[in-house]
Amino acid sequence: MRPPVWLRISWAMKYTLILLMLLGLPLSAQPVPQSAAQMQLSFVPLVKEAAPAVVNIYAKIMTAPQRTPLQSDPFFERFFRDPFSEKPRVQNSLGSGVILSADGIVVSNYHVVGMATEIRVVLNDRREFIAKVLLGDADADLAILKIEAPEPLPFLALRESETVEVGELALAIGNPFGVGQTVTSGIVSGLARSGAGGGNSGLGYFIQTDAPINPGNSGGALIDVAGRLIGINTSILTRSGGSNGIGFAIPADLVSAFVAQARAGEVAFGRPWAGISGQPVDSDMAAPLGLDRAGGIIVSGLHAASPFRTAGLQVGDVIIAVDGQPVHTPAEMVYRMSVAGLGRAAEIAYLRNGASGTMQVDLIAAPDQPPRDLRTFSDRSVLPGLVLSRINPAVISEMNLPLETMGVVVAEAGPLAPRIGIRSGDVILAVNGVEVTHPDQVGRLLNSRQKRVQMMIQRGDRRLSLRFRV
C-alpha cells in the first residue's frame, strides 16, 4: 500500500501549502475542519457554514415624550405645553439574531427587540422579513421571534451547555456598529459567570469569552468549532468602552428552554419559583457548616408556600447541587431551575448539620394566591390613578420584593402620588397608625374625613413616614 500523499510530498511543499492556507489563498474545496489544530489554519469553511443562520435585526421603538414636573402640574401645564415634545419619538435599535429552526424561529436579546413596534430581520443573502415577538423576558435578556419564509431557512443546532469547557475555540458572529456581518475569534475563557455583565437584575448566568463583542453584536451567535451554537452574545465588560474587555453569552440550554415555551404558546417566560432566600457559602462559613471548601447556598429564609419547604428543606440547610450540577450562588440555582423547566421535579442535594441528603422538589410558578384584589383609585379620590395590590408570592416575584414582605404594594403610582413621595413598588404598611393588609383598608382610611394623613411605607431596606394634607 502506498503511503498517503501528505507523506510523499516534500517538506518544502508542505510548508508552501500551510503558508497558502494561513494567507487565505484559495486551494481546492476545503472540508470543514475536524480538530482544533485544523481550525487554527482557517475559519473559512466554518464561517461559510454558520454565517447564513446569523441575521441582522433592525427594530423601531416608540418612546413616550419626557414630561417635566411643571408640565405635569395642572396649573403650569398650559404655560409649558410644547406640541412637538409631546409627540412620541421613534428610536432605532440595531442588533443581531440567530435562526434556530428551518421554519423561522429566531432568538435575539430582549434589549434589542423587547419594546419594538416594528422588527425587520435581514439575512446574510440580503433577504428581508418582518418578525414578531413570540416570547420575551427582560431579566434573562432573551426574546424569541418568528419570521415567515417561503422555503426552509438555514439554522444553527444548539449544543448542550454542560459539555462546553474552558479553553475551547469560539467564534462570535454578529453585526457590530451596523457595518455588516462580522466574525471575531477567541476562546471560552470562563463558565458560570453569575450576574457579570448582565446589568439587568443580577439574574444572569453567562459563558465568558475573549472574542470581541462590539455594539450591535448583541443577540448574535457564539459558536464552537463544529458550528454549533453555544451561546447568545449579550454584553461586554470593559473599562475603556471599547471591545478590549470580557464578553458574555447566554448559554444555549436556557435558549432551548425559551424556544420550548414559545412553541407551547407562552408569551412570557415561566421561571420556576424557589421561595427561598440565601447567600453563597464563603471560606469563613464553610468549616462550621461541615464543608471542606467554600461552595453552596445557605438558606436563610423560606416562604410558607415554598416548594422547597414542602419538600422538607429547613433554614440553615446548604443547597449544594440541582440535578447533579453544583450551585454556588442564587443566580446559578435560578438558572438550573429555569433550564429544568416548570412542571417537573428537580433533585436537590443539600447538607444539614454536616450530613448530606437529597430531596425531590416540584418546580412550580410563584402562586398567585391569595388573590391580588387590585384596587384603582378613581379621579375623585385623594390619590387618583393609584393602583394597589395585595401581596402574594407572584407579586413578590414580579416586583422583586423581599421574600418576607407583607402588606399592600403600590402597583402603579398614578399622576399625583409621586408628588408626595409615593412610588411604584412601595409597600404600604400602615395609614394613620392602622396596619393594613388589603387595598380596601387603604382606600377606606384615605377616604375618611381626616385632613392629615400619615403613611408608613417600606422601600427596599428603608422604612419611610410620609405626611400630607387632603
Q: Which of 206, 201, 194 is nearest to 252 (CA)?
A: 206
Q: Which CATH number fits domain 375-469: 3.90.1300.10, 3.40.50.300, 3.40.50.150, 2.30.42.10?
A: 2.30.42.10
Provide φ and ψ at 176, rounded to 5°: -70, 135
pTM beyond 0.85: the answer is: no
DSSP letter string, 135-180:
EEETTTTEEEEE---SSPPP--PBPPGGG--TT-EEEEEE-GGGS-
276-362 maps to which CATH number?
2.30.42.10
Half-sphere CA count of 265, side-chain side, radius 13 A: 0
Catalytic choice (108, 194, 218, 306): 218
111 is catalytic: yes
C-alpha of 312 from chain center: 30
In the structure grid, which three cell numbers stand for residue 236, read together?
461586554
CATH match for 43-266 among 3.90.1150.10, 2.40.10.120, 3.40.50.150, 1.10.10.10: 2.40.10.120
pLDDT at 217: 79
Query: Domain segments of the chain: what residues?
Result: 1-25+36-41, 43-266, 276-362, 375-469
Tell whether omega for the bond before 370 is within 30 degrees of 0, i.e. cis: yes
Q: CA-CA distance, 272 to 365, in Å (whole number)? A: 5
φ and ψ at 274, to 5 degrees?
-90, -40
Return the HEC string of 216-283: CCCCCEEECCCCCEEEEEEEEECCCCCCCCEEEEEEHHHHHHHHHHHHCCCCECCCCCCCEEEEECCH
Intrachain domains 276-362 and 375-469 with the same fold: yes
3-class DSSP state of 313: coil
Tens of pLDDT along the chain (470 residues) come to: 454 444 444 544 544 555 445 545 454 445 555 666 555 567 888 999 999 999 999 988 766 655 555 555 555 555 555 555 556 566 677 889 999 999 999 999 998 898 888 999 999 888 999 999 999 999 889 999 999 999 999 999 999 999 999 999 999 998 876 667 888 889 998 887 765 444 334 456 899 998 888 777 788 999 999 999 999 998 776 555 555 568 899 999 999 999 999 999 999 999 999 999 999 999 888 888 888 888 899 999 999 999 999 999 999 999 999 999 999 988 899 999 999 999 999 999 999 988 999 999 999 999 999 999 999 998 888 899 999 999 999 999 999 999 999 889 999 999 989 988 999 999 999 999 999 999 999 999 988 777 889 999 999 889 999 998 87
Q: CA–CA separation, 424 vs 426, rounded Å?
A: 6
- Choose the catalytic residue: 93, 96, 141, 194: 141
Concatenating the DSSP letter of every residue in 442-467 gives: HHHHHTSS-SEEEEEEEETTEEEEEE
Residue 456 is predicted with a pLDDT of 95
Task: Kindly name the residue from 93, 108, 111, 338 that is annotated as catalytic.
Answer: 111
The upper half-sphere exposure of residue 177, i.e. CA atoms within 13 Å in the direction of its Cβ, equals: 7
Indicate the burial class of 384 (C-beta count within 10 angstroms; 0-12, 13-18, 19 or more): middle
Burial 256-269 (b: 16+ CB within 10 A, else e): bbbbebbeeeeeeb
The Cα-based distances of 7 to 10, 14, 27, 314, 339 in angstroms read 8, 9, 19, 67, 49
141 is catalytic: yes
Look at residue 202 in the predicted model and tell me its pLDDT: 41
